[in-house]
Amino acid sequence: MQTLVRGRCAYEPVYRAMQDFTAARQAHTPDAIWLCEHEPVFTQGLAGRSEHLLAATAIPLIATDRGGQITFHGPGQVVAYPLVDLKRAGYYVKEYVYRIEEAVIRTLRHWNVTGHRVPGAPGIYVRLDDPAGHARLAANSSAGKPNFAGLGKIAALGVKVSRHCTYHGVALNVAMDLSPFEAINPCGYAGLRTVDLSTIGVAVGWEEVAATLGQRLVQGLSP
């Protein structure tokens, strides 16, 4: 699996490049992971609803073909795009998502931060009062809805699978301007707080987090 650090770049050209890469794939095409840091942009999934954009801003909104609702990408966030042939890898979409989330959890663990899954709400979350604590979350659903009490979302996930091949991916917040998240219901959840590593007291650079996440994804997504 090849890892390509694309660095700071606009979102839309990378989105189109992912589509083109996937459409042109052959059975022998190596899998890849692209690591990016985007200029400010809101992106919305196929099922996205306009009411989740709460306020007009100067930040562009781009409709995409991934799953999920609306999220924000901006400087200080590592965005990883795994381009994986799932048929060749030998696992299905549900396990693929689990493996991505596990790579994020292991990346956070490198900085003594405990990442949590919330059933029914893809992505990774941290305890706001104890980011390093290892205790399991209490019951985190109510009436079938995720319960985010005491949690902040530190990584958002949205994927697309075409002909068994993946694109889009996961965004891990490192040290960014979080204010644009106030203009949306992040991933479609009203009141969900978004955090980054800086917010919870971890001072680390984009390059180091990108390298660590890239390594964990390579390890975790290999057949």
Which residues have a catalytic role annotated? 187
Place of tokens 């693929």: 96
The rounded distance, in Å, linking the Cα atoms of 47 and 50 is 10
- How far is residue 74 from each of residues 24, 43, 52, 150, measured CA to CA in Å? 28, 11, 18, 25
Q: What is the largest CA-CA distance in the chain?
A: 48
Question: What are the backbone angles phi and psi of residue 23, rounded to the nearest 5°?
Answer: -65, -30
The number of residues making up the chain comes to: 223
Residue 189 in tokens? 């959840």
The rounded distance, in Å, linking the Cα atoms of 43 and 34 is 18
The rounded distance, in Å, linking the Cα atoms of 48 and 120 is 16
Handedness of CA 89, 94, 95, 97 (dihedral sign): positive
Contact assessment for residue 109 and residue 82, using Cβ atoms and an 8 Å cutoff:
no
Place of tokens 């794939």: 25
